[in-house]
């Protein structure tokens, strides 16, 4: 048997891949419609049966049934892995809340959300952002889709040099600027300054949204950067690093955790790039290490844009990645696949949806863990690695 100090763990977040059934979904909304009944995976499968043999073999279809009782055509295998559903305690359906709680820290506060008005930001904050940018004002100042507002205000941005500032139903302030005319490093510096302004307000993230091109053909670049509030407690990443373990962060994990507890950062321009990192680390990650990955395009490209077909294609592509990754693991390895919230592409609106999430594990044989909490995932990873307990969770291993 492999000693805990030599075991490896891979914690993989499929961003927004919810499975419905959240008991408090009626308290969360898209516009004025409560999230009651939202179910990202089931509704995609009902629109087009899904072929995901690798994750379904672990128990994906069974997890959907456990969480919500909904049918998911194409997903009905007898589970051969660890499987269950997880319920979030934090009062949010956003990226930081979900990831922090998966890592062992439930969010102890209510996030601040900017109102869906025009202007959306307090006048004093807008003035401070303009001063930090060295401009006479800002553009936008509203709830908006990132691609839409860049198409609409990009030309004005090029003429005035003013940053495009916008928000959404999330606790977030996003700043878009042209990489060449405004400057990428200047945008990053501005976002760092604005983060210091809004984090005390409990705004979760400031996001740099660089773009390129000319009027009529603007396009966002892969150089997004998130400036998130630091987690309010000790996470599984902190615990691993405190014990001298190597930690690998794939995708936006570094940004979400303010780069705390991370040894190596692995970024990419797409989920396909991130998949290459995951497969490589399945071969190369050190004994005793923790690899924590986020695959964001389910959410950013398909969930918010309510693209059911695109989401389905992405899920089936990722299942192939998961199969390849599992095939490279060995004795003493544990892989857990989960999600941070839902984003049902069949749902009205454009916001995340409050849902339970799957918990699927490879490395421990067939094991039904039932309904667990997000924090129990961190406790279980800590137990597998032989780390001190993290947060209030209880291991389901």
Q: Is 340 annotated as a binding residue?
A: yes
3-state secondary structure 9-53: EEEEEECCCCCCCCCCHHHCEECCEECCCCCHHHHHHHHCCCCCH
Task: For 149-174, write each residue's pLDDT tens digit.
Answer: 999 999 999 999 999 999 998 899 99
Give the pTM.
Answer: 0.93
Average pLDDT across the chain, whole number: 97
pLDDT tier for residue 278 given thresholds of 50, 70 and 90: very high
65-71, long-range: CB within 8 Å, 24+ apart, which pairs? 66/370, 66/371, 67/19, 67/20, 67/21, 67/355, 67/356, 67/358, 67/371, 68/19, 68/20, 68/21, 68/39, 68/42, 68/356, 69/21, 70/20, 70/21, 70/39, 70/42, 71/42, 71/45, 71/46
Closest by alpha carbon to 170, among 146, 134, 135?
146
Q: Tell how strand 357-362 and strand 82-87 pair up.
A: antiparallel
Q: Is 118 annotated as a binding residue?
A: no
Q: Is the pLDDT of residue 63 over 90?
A: yes
Q: Is 384 annotated as a binding residue?
A: no
Percent of residues, the chain, with pLDDT higher than 70 = 100
pLDDT tier for residue 383 given thresholds of 50, 70 and 90: very high
The whole-number pLDDT of residue 386 equals 97
Angle of CA points 374, 379, 385, to nearest 5°: 135
Span 375-393, average pLDDT: 96
Q: Is the pLDDT of residue 1 over 80?
A: no
Integer angstrom CA distances of residue 121 from 35, 125, 207, 208, 238: 26, 7, 15, 17, 34
Percent of residues, the chain, with pLDDT higher than 90 = 97
Residues in the chain: 397
Q: Is 15 annotated as a binding residue?
A: yes
Q: Is 352 annotated as a binding residue?
A: yes
CB distance 44 to 315 below 8 Å = yes
The whole-number pLDDT of residue 44 equals 98
Q: Is the pLDDT of residue 25 over 80?
A: yes
Task: For 196-243, write each residue's pLDDT tens digit.
Answer: 999 999 999 999 999 999 999 999 999 999 999 999 999 999 999 999
Q: Tell me, what DSSP letter sits at residue 201?
A: G
Closest by alpha carbon to 256, among 275, 235, 277?
235
The whole-number pLDDT of residue 170 equals 86
Q: Is 71 annotated as a binding residue?
A: no
Task: For 70-89, write each residue's pLDDT tens digit.
Answer: 999 999 999 999 999 999 99
Dihedral sign for Cα 184, 271, 106, 345, please. positive
């Amino acid at each position: 048997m492999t000693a805990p100090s030599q075991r490896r763990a891979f914690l993989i977040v499929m961003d927004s891949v919810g499975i419905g059934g959240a008991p408090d979904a009626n308290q969360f909304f898209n516009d004025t419609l409560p999230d009651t009944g939202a179910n990202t995976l089931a509704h995609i499968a009902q629109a087009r049966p899904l072929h995901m043999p690798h994750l379904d073999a672990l128990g994906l279809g069974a997890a959907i049934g456990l969480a919500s009782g909904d049918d998911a055509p194409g997903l009905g295998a007898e589970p051969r892995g660890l499987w269950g559903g997880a319920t979030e305690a934090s009062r949010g359906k956003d990226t930081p809340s979900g990831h922090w709680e998966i890592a062992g820290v439930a969010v102890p506060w209510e996030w601040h959300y900017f109102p869906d008005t025009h202007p959306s930001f307090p006048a004093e904050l807008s003035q401070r952002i303009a001063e930090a940018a060295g401009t006479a004002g800002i553009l936008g100042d509203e709830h908006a889709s990132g691609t839409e507002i860049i198409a609409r205000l990009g030309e004005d941005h090029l003429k005035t040099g003013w940053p495009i500032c916008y928000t959404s139903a999330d606790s977030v302030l996003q700043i878009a600027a042209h990489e060449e005319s405004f400057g990428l490093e200047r945008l990053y510096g501005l976002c760092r300054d604005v983060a210091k302004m809004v984090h005390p307000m409990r705004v979760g993230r400031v996001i740099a949204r660089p773009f390129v091109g000319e009027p009529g053909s603007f396009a966002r670049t892969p150089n997004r950067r998130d400036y998130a509030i630091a987690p309010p407690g000790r996470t599984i990443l902190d615990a691993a690093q405190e014990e001298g373990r190597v930690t690998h962060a794939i995708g936006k994990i570094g940004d979400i955790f303010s780069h705390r507890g991370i040894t190596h950062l692995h970024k990419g321009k797409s989920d396909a790039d991130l998949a290459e990192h995951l497969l490589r680390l399945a071969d190369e990650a050190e004994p005793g290490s923790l690899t924590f990955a986020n695959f964001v395009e389910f959410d950013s490209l398909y969930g918010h844009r309510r693209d059911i077909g695109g989401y389905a294609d992405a899920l089936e592509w990722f299942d192939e990645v998961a199969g390849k990754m599992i095939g490279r693991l060995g004795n003493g390895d544990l892989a857990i696949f989960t999600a941070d919230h839902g984003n049902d592409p069949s749902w009205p609106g454009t916001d995340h949806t409050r849902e339970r999430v799957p918990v699927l594990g490879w490395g421990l044989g067939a094991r039904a863990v039932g309904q667990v909490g997000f924090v129990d995932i961190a406790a279980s990873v800590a137990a597998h690695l032989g780390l001190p307990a993290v947060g209030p969770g209880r291991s389901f291993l």
